[in-house]
Structure 1
Amino acid sequence: MSSAASDPEKGRVENITSNGGTGRTRVSNDVEEYGPNSGDPVSYQRYPSHIANPGPMGLFSFASTTFILSLFNVGTRGISHPNVVVGMAIFAGGLTQFIAGMWEFPRGNVFGATAFASYGSFWMSYATIFIPGSGIMAAFSDPQELNNAIGIYLIAWFMITIFFLLAVLRRNVAFTVLLSCLSVALLLLAIAEWGGMEQVQKAGGVFGIVTGLVAFYIGVSELLVAEPRAVARLPQGLLHT
């Protein structure tokens, strides 16, 4: 027989097990984890799963899409229209990151699942605005009304990012920097949409570039930590071939 006392809000599950006459005793598998999976190292019982850490995949998808769009926002190489990022926003920043969020759920990672799934949805919804077939942009006859609507959209995601920031504030330096830069970028881009100020848009693009670079850094660090663990789990015969 086994009973479990869980506290999902703290990311911790404690198992109390006994053999119960079955001759089997389950052993607790407490681990410590950093990065997007938690604001700080926490000890918890991992759910039985063979799913690898999807964090690097989600971070690289987020970083690459944010980096490209931010380069467009600062007018790199004379580019003034961000529509080329639509493909990246749908499949990399959107679909791939959303899948990473879904894979975080069976790993017992509430923060990673919520963040990746949310920003994956953000990128897919953002891309949809710029797809002509969606009819969203065509529905606005007044360009300023469209800008105001996009500004409200960005402010909503600024608020969501602030909520994520509160979850990691003073607990994880890298993610505090990442979400702080993203918050400023979204706020500046919203103000630029409302006021039509090109310099403010470029400033938002600069913070977006920094956000992308920080996300790349965290993704690489997660990948380098995951690789030795993956090699250690390989069958010994494969290590000597």
Structure 2
Amino acid sequence: MTTILTNPGSARAKNPASTTSVQPAPSGLAAIVIADPGALGLGAFALTTFVLSLSNTGLIPGAGAAVVGLALFYGGIAQVFAGMWEFVKGNTFGATAFTSYGAFWLAFWWLLTHPETHLAAGGAGVGAFLVAWTIFTAFMTVAALKTNRVLVVLFVALTLTFIALAIGSFTGVSAIHEFGGWLGLATAAIAWYGSAATVINATWKHPALPVWPLA
């Protein structure tokens, strides 16, 4: 079972039997095995997106306040850590995705905790912020076409989510914003599946949950 976030340019990504990267061991010590950070990164993204989307849909308005801590610690810091370990493993795709979306949640936390900044930006400023992330997610979707079907569906759903939320911010139409929230719930569910597949398959030592590799 390969890692769910694969790097097509990596020799490890081309070896379906390899799930971890092994570093040279100093002075005869046991080789260092690096666990797959994909489960953490996808789980952090999924849970934080889920809670925020509950607020965006209007299902649980109070979830917008609850997401502040998650955006900093889990969606932000934990996901950046996952991205750093993907760099160590030589996984360009995973490193770029987790570090970038971790930074997204940290930036979002800043907006939530600095209302004067949010107010100064207004709907158009937040919309521009979301458009920029739409562009990034769109080209990451192209890269995902060489990973697996779970990631392709995830990045397509996330791109659509950013588009809907951006339009909602520019227009101020609440129905579009709520629709973006529903798309966010779907995105969170897909990311959770990816996280579950990564940790369960690694722990059970066989592909119990398929991710359908494309590369």
TM bin (shorter chain): 0.7 to 0.9
Q: Which residue of structure 1 aligns with residue 131 of structure 2?
A: 155
Q: Which residue of structure 1 aligns with residue 72 of structure 2?
A: 90
Preserved CA contact (<8 Å) 1:178 1:215: yes
SS at 1:43 equivalent: coil
What RMSD over aligned residues (CA atoms) do the two structures have, in Å?
Answer: 2.3
Match of 2:81 among 79, 88, 99: 99
Identical aligned residues as a percent: 35
Quote the Cα distance in structure 1 between the aligned partners of 2:181 and 2:117. 24
Q: 1:228 aligned to 2:204? A: yes
**Structure with bigger RCO (C-alpha 8 Å, 6+ apart):** 2
Preserved CA contact (<8 Å) 2:6 2:147: no
Q: 1:135 to 1:199 in 2, by over 3 A?
A: closer
Q: 1:136 aligned to 2:117? A: yes
Quote the Cα distance in structure 2 between the aligned partners of 1:200 and 1:211. 16
Structure 2 counterpart of 1:204, one-letter code: G
Preserved CA contact (<8 Å) 1:47 1:108: no
Q: Which residue of structure 2 aligns with residue 196 of structure 1?
A: 172
Alignment of 1:165-180 (within 5 A): 165-169=141-145, 171-180=147-156
Larger Rg: 1
Runs of 5+ in structure 2 lacking a partner?
A: 24-31, 206-215
Q: Which has the higher strand share?
A: 1
Match of 2:52 among 40, 47, 69: 69
Quote the Cα distance in structure 2 between the aligned partners of 1:37 and 1:81. 33
Alignment of 1:36-47 (within 5 A): 36-38=5-7, 42-43=14-15, 46-47=21-22
Quote the Cα distance in structure 1 between the aligned partners of 2:180 and 2:37. 28
Structure 2 counterpart of 1:36, one-letter code: L
Runs of 5+ in structure 1 lacking a partner?
A: 1-31, 230-241
- What TM-score do you get using the length of structure 2 for normalisation? 0.82
Q: How much has 1:80 moved relative to structure 2?
A: 7.0
Quote the Cα distance in structure 1 between the aligned partners of 2:131 and 2:88. 31
Structure 2 counterpart of 1:227, one-letter code: T
- What TM-score do you get using the length of structure 1 for normalisation? 0.73
Aligned residues: 192
Q: 1:81 to 1:210 in 2, by over 3 A?
A: closer
SS at 1:42 equivalent: coil
Residues 102-151 of structure 1: CA distance to partner in whole angstroms, max 9, x if unpaired? 0111111111111100000000001101113x74135x2xxxx5110000
